[in-house]
Structure 1
Amino acid sequence: SSLTPRPTGGISPIALPVLESLFTGNLQEARKLVFSQMLVSGQAAENGGSNNFIIGKRNQRALQVLSKSVDQDNCKTNALLYGGMHCKDLHRRLESMGYVAKKTEWRTAWSVD
């Protein structure tokens, strides 16, 4: 890379790929990188405050529907799809209901190539 962060400061490692894309004229790549940083920054900002309340309520409702499906509809196989910000709370709630994780699988929803 022609741009390297200095150990004592300088260019941010996060900004570095964006700057390289701009300097090489690859505006599409720069847009992708900026968009991905906006998403990550937004998720980091949402990790506290009232958004945790909203996530908790959504998780609570999802688990109510899951429980109904298991108990009343006698479903043996269920899928619970959720985003990354829901993981910690859902994991805690599922464990408190007696569920045990057997397998963890990461599926990439989108990537910046």
Structure 2
Amino acid sequence: MAKEEILEKVKEVRNAPSCYEGLKKVCDEYLAAAGTAQEAGVSKKLKAELKEDVCSIDHVIPFFESEEGAKVFGADQAKALSKAAHEAKDKGVKYCICPACTAGGWLLDHQDEF
């Protein structure tokens, strides 16, 4: 695995509209520390944050189907997200289908490489 691929995925997480500020901050720290003596420590911090923040597909489906999900996304969008999440799960996707979780899940699957 090329270091560039890891850095690109971190940037994808960081720049995703669905990424919350706390995770963006840790991504920024990692990107700034890449290639320095601080990288290993910040890498551990990033992995811990990803484990805490990246949602599983099994976690988001009930949210999309809930009243709260309908309030957050609107009923039609929540229904569409639920359908898309079920289709993704049927294809073997294990993380939430939002851009931050998709890239973050990839990083979790490759966490032994950075």
Bin for the TM-score computed over the shorter chain: under 0.3
More helix by share: 2
Higher relative contact order (CA 8 A, sep 6+): 2
Q: Give the TM-score normalised by structure 2.
A: 0.25
Q: Give the TM-score normalised by structure 1.
A: 0.25
Query: Which of the two has higher C-alpha Rg?
Result: 1
